[in-house]
Amino acid sequence: MRNPTKYNYRSHVLWALLAWGSLAGYSDSDAGEPIWFEAEHAQWATFDDIYLAAGLSSGKGLHFSTDSEARLGEYTARYEIEVPVGGTYELWGRRHLYYHDEGNIPLITHMKRYVELIWRVDDGPWQGTDSNADPTGLEGPYPTSIGHLGYTRTGTREMAGKTIGWYRDGELDLSPGPHVLEISLVLRQETVTPLFEPRLNRYYGVLDAFVIADSTFEPGGRTRPVSAIKGIADIQSVRLDSTEIRILATATGDTIPNLIGINGFSLSKVDSGYTEQIQALRPELWRVSHLYNKAKVTRNTDGELVFDWTELDREIDAIRALGIEPMMCISYTPEFLSSMPSDTPRGAGTGDPGLYPPSDYDVWEEVVYRTVAHYNVERGLNIRYWSVWNEPNNIFLNVWHIWEWTRYLPFSAFIDDIKKSVQYLSIYESAVRGAVKADPSIQVGGPTVLCDGDVEDFTGSVGRWVQMLRWWCDWRELPLDFVAVHFYAGPPDSQAPEDYGDLIRRVRHWATRADGSVPEVIIDEWNAWSMEGGHDNATEYNAIWTLESLGAMFEAGARHSVYYANAEYLSLLESDFRTPRPVYHAFKMFSELDGQRLISESDAPDTRVIATRADRRLTILIWRFGTVHREADVVISELPSDIEVQYRSYLVDEGHSNFQLGQAQSGLYMSDEGKVVTTSAGELELRVRLPRTSAVLVDLLLD
């Protein structure tokens, strides 16, 4: 960010062309060498983002994802290529595109449609590519080849969602010198839309690389041949796009909620360096999972309940010492109270006594009563949030079979779901009655279920569980103060950050009580890491995904969320428990938003902004995906006239605040600082650089 002078595009374009010429390398190359260029190195592209995956040739690819057929034709990319020797060439592209071919009864079930790449050279006619052809140069099964594309198919049915490969796109007659290749997308359908249309995915895919070569070239995997010419340079340091962001400094709205909560590991078992890093994020909630894995509950020979609070007390005290509020998860069943059949072999899952319903619900109610009484009455901690169980629609609630062989009967899974539902309602009712008897002021909730759906509906069974619990609470006159759900990121083609906001709105609708009251909705487990193996929570892509998700929850009216940060690949910090990952910096930026929200708007649909004001401090958080770099003119109105404003800006992108570039780059990077003076009309304009896939925090202090 600099004092607002107009950007000199001409000089930077000249610099870029010189860099391109120096990097192209064609002057010393033989005529027969293939010309290789990365798809994400387009001089211009309107795709959604640059996606990161280990199976791509440079670790990156040009990615798109949309549920709109009309949107496909708007995805374009332009490549300026230098051809050393004229002649007839073949164009090859390495990619993975949506391909749907299911059902086998014409007009009834069979649907075949797919996304196809089209291309042209030097404004010539558009040419299509046969996406029905089998790709070549395949390299490994899913997820090692690409990672996140788990719900589409490339080529034949047997290769569904497993591979990324090379396609021969056609012939080109090229003269020596510069040429322009443009690519776009179309949707093909080869069948009549059936009466019973099968489920359809979003239209999506990733373009990895292109090669222009003679007919002797045989493409392999993702590795560029040593002899290949680097056909173009990545000149996207030239800012090819601009936008304007407007902020009203005195037009305030709602107070910004604290959406930062943490779940997943024991604070009492890490050192002070780690806890200081976490404390800097100012989390409001810390979810304590599985209370009775920490508090030991037994029964003595006289039949009396015996509690050992040592480990759980230590955990609660460590959380509160950081100024964070515990969020208690009432689970699982103490072993002495488990209904697990005695002949069941011990072990994880079905062999874990804690994952079975209580054998006596009166005793279960007493256990919960004593727990809440210990913390909120005896110790006076006034812990507010108490949720009942953890993911009962997952493997964490087991039900027994009347006879072992009945598990193999048709519909046994459906019957098990019914039994789980009935058991959970009893678990919830007894737990809630015990909890509110100990402290009527607490907030109780459930069902703490996991979104277990697919690309047609990511929520899966959540709607049924939430509506079932709401109906039961209405009928039995039970409190349901909040509804907790879990939702983990999937591929950007099956789940998107906006789904977090959609989930909150849908759950709020499902949970609305008979009297019209609406429980709070808390996503108390979520993470930017893809469970399908696409991204590992350690890149700038994950950081922007995190901000997009937080923004979606914020716009949906969420007051709390809890981020799951347990194992190393889910962590906010690197394995040394010191080095911040980009996702940590995203949370740190969000945590700086304070006070009243300001009215703000961006004229670019891919650029998000939230601005706040607390007394004389203004904080502006801007983030975006995108495929080209951008500059934003940030115009702040309704400030006092002729006053000095101090500013600092911080940047997270692929080259900054990114531990993967080395320890020196792991901290939050301050990209600019200085002083400016408002105009006589009380306006302030700042020029902010917004790289593709980046977040910028601007902190202003009014003197």
- 268 and 224 within one domain: no
- pLDDT for position 618: 95
- Asked whether residue 163 is assigned to any structural domain, the reply reads yes
- 274 and 182 within one domain: no
3-state secondary structure of 151: coil
- Asked whether residue 360 is assigned to any structural domain, the reply reads no
- Asked whether residue 1 is assigned to any structural domain, the reply reads no
- Give the CATH number of the domain where residue 682 resides: 2.60.40.1500
Instruction: Please give the torsion angle defined by the CA atoms of residues 339, 341, 344 and 346, in that order, rounded to the nearest 10 degrees.
Output: 30
396 alpha carbon, distance to own chain's centre: 24
Distance CA 236, CA 627 (A): 9
Residue in 92, 420, 325, 391 with CA at minimum distance from that of residue 231: 92
- Asked whether residue 507 is assigned to any structural domain, the reply reads yes
- 137 and 96 within one domain: yes
Distance CA 396, CA 349 (A): 7
For Cα atoms 134, 135, 139, give the angle at the middle one, nearest 5 degrees. Answer: 130
- Asked whether residue 455 is assigned to any structural domain, the reply reads no
Distance CA 94, CA 136 (A): 9
- 634 and 508 within one domain: no
Residue 39: strand pairing partners: none
- 275 and 231 within one domain: no
- Asked whether residue 655 is assigned to any structural domain, the reply reads yes
- Asked whether residue 549 is assigned to any structural domain, the reply reads yes
Cβ-proximal residues to 587 (8 Å cutoff; 6+ apart), any chain = 260, 281, 546, 563, 572
Query: Tell me, what DSSP letter sits at residue 580?
Result: B
What are the backbone dihedrals phi and psi of residue 617, each rounded to the nearest 5 degrees, phi first? -110, 125
The two structure tokens encoding residue 258: 């604290």
- 573 and 509 within one domain: yes
SS (H, E, C) 266-319: CHHHCCHHHHHHHHCCCCCEEEECCHHHHCEEEECCCCCEEEECHHHHHHHHHH
- 281 and 199 within one domain: no
- 552 and 616 within one domain: no
- 271 and 137 within one domain: no
How buried is residue 226: exposed, middle or buried, by Cβ count under 10 Å (0-12/13-18/19+)?
exposed
pTM assigned to the model: 0.87
- 222 and 140 within one domain: yes
pLDDT along the chain (703 residues), means of 10: 35 36 37 83 90 81 88 93 90 87 83 90 90 74 44 43 78 91 92 76 86 89 80 55 90 86 81 83 94 94 93 95 96 93 83 92 98 98 97 86 53 72 95 98 96 83 96 97 92 80 97 97 89 63 93 95 80 79 95 93 92 94 91 94 94 91 87 92 92 95 89
Residue in 90, 114, 128, 139 with CA at minimum distance from that of residue 204: 114
With contact defined as beta carbons under 8 Å apart, do 270 and 38 qualify?
A: no
Domain span at residue 145?
Answer: 9-235
What are the backbone dihedrals phi and psi of residue 55, each rounded to the nearest 5 degrees, phi first? -80, 5
The two structure tokens encoding residue 77: 């990319």
Distance CA 132, CA 116 (A): 9
- 576 and 440 within one domain: yes
Q: Is 369 left (phi over 0), alpha (psi -120 to 50) or beta?
A: alpha
How many residues are listed for the chain in this entry?
A: 703
3-state secondary structure of 167: strand
- 247 and 172 within one domain: no
The two structure tokens encoding residue 694: 């980046």
- Asked whether residue 141 is assigned to any structural domain, the reply reads yes
Domain count for the chain: 3
